A and B are shown apart, each in its own frame.
Chain A
Amino acid sequence: MKLFPVRGGIHPDYRKDRTSELAIVALPLPKTLYLPLQQHIGAAAEPVVKAGDRVKKGQLLAQSGGVVSASVHAPTSGVISAIAELTAPHASGMPQPTILLEPDGHEEWAELPPGIPDPFSVDPNVIRARVAESGIVGMGGATFPSAVKLNLGSQHKLTTLLINGAECEPYLTCDDRVMREYAADVVDGARIMARALGTPKVVIGIEDNKPAAIKAITEAAQAYTDVEVISAPTQYPMGSERILVQLITGQETPAKKLTADLGVVVHNVATAKAVHEAVRFGRPLLARVVTVSGGAVAEPKNVLAPLGVMVSEIVAFCGGLKTPPKRIVNGGPMMGQPLPTLEVPVVKGMSGILALTAEETSEQPTQPCIRCGTCVTICPCGLVPVDMAAFIRKDHLDSAARIGVRDCVSCGSCSYVCPAHIPLVHYFNYAKGKLNALDREQRKTDHIGKLVESHNVRIEKQAAARKAAAAAAAAAAASANPENRAE
C-alpha cells in the first residue's frame, strides 16, 4: 500500500524497551473491585444490582444509560457490597458513583449470550447489538462506545476499517503485546468489525518500532485477502486518528468532519480483540491489558487487570514504587491524565499506569518564549502555538479561537519540544474549556432571550385579547342599552 506523508510530528524518547519484551501477566483477584458507572464518553450507566446481591462473572451490573453509553459487567463472581461515591481516575479527583464488588474467588460464569459461529453471514445489526451489550468502548483511551462507532456505515459510504496499532505514546506496550500474543484474535475482531461497518477492506497500521507485532499480525492476516498490514513510520502522534488516516489516504479529514467522511473508520487493536471475544464467545469486556511502567516502578510489567482493581494494587503487584514518583499518569506521558492518587480503579480506557521520576518528567521552570518557532514546525494540526499561547495569556480567547485553538488535539508535541518549557497544551486546554463554557453560556442566554421574547409576545397577545374582549363586551352592553349612549 502506498503511504502518504503526514504533517508535523516529533520523535520523543520512547522508553518502550522496559516492558516491550515482557509477556502479559494476569493480576490475581483483589479483595474488592471498584467499578465506576462512567468509564466511557457519554451518559453514565445505570445500576441494575443493589448492595447484597450475589453476582456471577460476566453478569450485567449497570445498564447502558442512553444511545451513547456503555454497560458495566462483573469481572468475576462475588457479592455487591455497596454502590458508593468514590474518587474517579481523573485529574480532578472528583468522586463518582461506583459499584463495589467483593470477589468470592470461584470465578463462576454467568450464563453468557451464545457465541455467533459465523459473524460474516449474520446481519450487521446483530454484531452491533452484541458489541453494545458487551460494554465495549474504544480502548486506546478515547473510550467512545464502540457500537455507536460501528454504526457509521449507515450514514457514510465507507471503504476502509483502519485498525490503529500505532501505539505512538512512549512507554506504552500494551497494544504491542496484545498484537503479538493475540494476533489471530485481533485480526478476527477486525474482520468482524468490518462486517458490522460494511467496509470491504481492513488496514492494520503498526509503527515500525514494533517489528514483532508487525510480523505476528502479518502472519495472522495472511489467510485473508481483505486484510492489509502496514508498517507506519515511527513518529508521534502517528496514532492520532486523523494522522493515521492521512498516512493511508493522503487526505486530511476536513475540520468539523469525521474520518468517516473520507470513508475510513478507525478502531484500536485492543477494541478488536474485545469484539472478537464478545462476538465469538459472548464474553463482555471484563479486563484489559495495562502497561505499568516508569522509573519509579520497581518491576515494570504488562498486566492483564480485571476492570475495577485499584491502581495501588497493580503497582504493588509490580513490586511497588522504588522511589517517590514526581507524577502518576493514567495513559501515556504525552496525552495521559495526571492521577491525584493511586487509590483509583482501573477503567476501560486505562492503557498505562506510569509512575515517573523527576528526571523522566524533566519539568523545569518556565522561561520567556524566544520565538524559536519549533512549535509551529512540529504542530501536526498546522497551528501556531506560540501565538495562541500569547493570546491566551492576555485572555484574548476570541483571538486564540480565530487562529484555531479549537482545532488543537492536545497531542502535547509543542509542550514537549519547547526549549523555554512553556506548558503550551495547558494553556490550550484552559482556553478550550473556557470557550466551551462561554458557548454554553451564550446558548443559554440566547435560549432565555427567546423564551422572554415569546413570553412577551404571549402577554401582549393576551392583553390584546382581553382588550378586544372588553371592547366587545362594552359594545354589546352599549347596543343593549342605547339610552346610556344618549347621555
Chain B
Amino acid sequence: MSVLNITKAAPFTHAPNTTQSIMLTVLLALAPATLFDAWLFGWPAIFMFILTVGFCLLLEAGCLILQNKPLTPSLTDGSVVLTGWLLAMSLPPYAPWWISLLGAIFAVVLAKQLFGGIGQNVFNPAMVGRVALLVSFPLQMTAWVKPSSAPGFVESLGITFGHASLDGISAASALGYVKTELSRGVPVSESVHHLPALSDMVLGIHPGSFGETSAILILLGGLFLMARKVISWHVPVSVIGTIVVLSGLASLADPARFAGPEFHLFAGATFLGAFFIATDYVTSPVSKQGQLVYGAGVGFFTWLIRTFAGYPEGMAFAVLLMNTLTPIIDHHIRPRAFGRTRKGEPLPVKGE
C-alpha cells in the first residue's frame, strides 16, 4: 500500500458542476432567442454574431499567448464565448465587421484580460464593449432595421463587409422612437400608439439589438437558468421590479411625460439585462442581500437614463455603474453569521 497523496483536506466528493458546465448552461439558455433573431434578421445578423464570437475567441487566445498562459481551460471554459455571445446580442443586427472587432477588443482585451482574465474583471466585459462602441460610433450603433428585412446571402456580405446602405430597411427602436418624439413635443401617451403592437413587442418582432427583441424567449431562457439553479431570482426580480415600480408610479403621475411599465418591460433590453447581463457572476455581488441592492440599482439607473438622459436605452450604462459599486456592496452587505448579530457580536443568551 503506497502512501497516498494526503495533502488535501476533505471533502473527498464533489458536485458534478464545473465553470464550463455553468457557462454552457447559460449559452443553452440564450440559444432560443438567438435562433429566433437569426431567423428574424437574416444573414447579416448571423455574420455579425459569428464574427463577434470569433473575434472574442481569437483575441482571448492572443492575450493568453502574449502572457505565456496555457490556452486551456481559459479558452474552453465557455466564458469568452459567453462574453462574445452577449456582446453580439447587444449590437445592432446589421453592424459591420469592424464594429464586431472593436467591440471584441473593448470587451475581451480591455475589460477582461487586462484586469487579469476570468474572475478578475471589475466591469461586465460585454457591456464595456457595447458602451464603448455606443459612445464612439453612435450612428452605427443605432442603425436599427425592420425585422424580416432578410436580404440575400451576397447582399448580406455587402452589409457586413462593405458599405451597403441600410436606408431602405432602417427603422427606429421603440425606446428611440418615443424619446425622439418626446423631444419634438409629442407626448409619450400618443407616441406609444405608433409602436408595433404589444404582442409583436413581446414576441420580438420589432427593431432593436440583435438579441434583445424577443422578450418572451429571453424570459424563458432566464426561467430555465433559474430552474437549473445557475441564477437565483434575486437580481432579475429586483431589476424588473424596480423598473416596473418606478415607471408605474411615474406614468400614473404624468402619462404624457412618462411611459408605463409594459413599455419599459418589452421595448428594450430589460429582460436580457435582468436575466443575463446583471446576473453576471464576476461583476455582481456574491450575497443574496447584496444582489437585491445591486438589482434595484440597475433597475433605477436603467429607468433614469431611459427617461431623462440623452440615450434611449440605459441598461448597459446602469450595469456598468452598479459594477463599480459591487465591491462596496460586497464589503458592507454580508449575510449574518450563524449565532451572531448583524454586527458580528455573539447573539445574547436568553435569560442572561
Contacts and interface: CB of A to CB of B under 8 A. Distances in A.
Contacts of B285: 373
Given A12-B13, A12-B15, A340 B282 contact: no
Contacts of B10: 329, 331, 333-338, 410, 412, 415, 425
B165 interface: no
- The A contact surface, by secondary structure, is loop
B136 interface: no
B185 interface: no
A377 to B, nearest CB: 7
Given A325-B4, A415-B11, A364 B346 contact: no
B4 A340 contact: yes
A425 B337 contact: no
Contact of A360 (B13, B73, B120): B13
Which of A251, A335, A372, A416 has most B Cβ within 10 Å?
A: A372
Interface residues of B, number: 48
A425 B11 contact: yes
B8 interface: yes
Nearest to A7: B338
B22 interface: yes
Contacts of A372: 22, 281, 286
6 contacts: A255-B346, A329-B10, A339-B4, A367-B19, A381-B338, A387-B286
A380 B8 contact: no
B16 interface: yes
Nearest to B330: A387
Interface size class of A (residues with CB under 8 A): 35 or more
Interface string B315-352: 00000000000000010001111111000101111100
B149 interface: no
A384 B13 contact: no
Interface of A: 7, 10, 12-13, 91, 93, 170, 242, 251-257, 261-262, 312, 325-329, 331, 333-343, 354, 356, 360-365, 367-373, 376-377, 379-384, 386-387, 403-404, 407, 410, 412, 415-417, 419-421, 423, 425-426, 429
Contacts of A333: 10-13
B3 A386 contact: no
A362 B16 contact: yes
A372 B13 CA distance: 20
Contacts of B346: 254-257
A334 B287 contact: no
Which of B120, B291, B337 has most A Cβ within 10 Å?
A: B337
Contacts of B349: 254, 257, 261-262
Given A363-B8, A407-B340, A426-B8, 19 more contacts: A255-B338, A257-B346, A326-B4, A327-B12, A333-B13, A362-B14, A362-B16, A364-B14, A367-B73, A368-B117, A370-B282, A371-B281, A376-B288, A384-B334, A384-B335, A403-B334, A407-B338, A415-B14, A416-B13
